[in-house]
Amino acid sequence: MDPLPKDSEGAATGEPSRGAGSSSGVVVQVREKKGPLRAAIPYMPFPVAVICLFLNTFVPGLGTFVSAFTVLCGARTDLPDRHKCCVFWLNIAAALIQILTAIVMVGWIMSIFWGMDMVILASKYS
């Protein structure tokens, strides 16, 4: 019984791998689909985003709470079809979730990741 060729061997000989078409394996575009809370994170100036990350690190939810007010000041989000007040309340809800679940460490970790996302979005915005 002969062993079947590995995918790398099939690729080296020019044979297509099993179960794959001739055009498979090529990624044209990858786009992240965000939920409404994650899409409500505002694009802030970089120094403000760093301050929010700092606040989220030491007081879970505080930086997210501050970032909610930047939406009312005109910060752009990935939810262009929603009203500013709706996006503001989504950010307030995210801050409350972070504060209420901080006692079991989930909210604290979520808060830090939220702050890192703010800094990443701010660096893309600059």
Say if residue 116 is exposed, middle or buried (CB neighbours under 10 Å; 0-12, 13-18, 19+).
middle
Distance between CA atoms of residues 70 and 10, nearest Å: 55
**CA 51/CA 47 separation, integer angstroms:** 6
Q: Between 64 and 80, whose confidence is greater? A: 64
Domain coordinates in residue numbering, the chain: 44-125
Per-residue confidence (pLDDT) for residue 9, from 0 to 100 = 47
Indicate yes or no: pTM above 0.95. no
Q: What share of the chain is helix, strand, coil (3-state, %, to 5)?
A: 60, 0, 40
Whole-number average pLDDT of the chain: 84
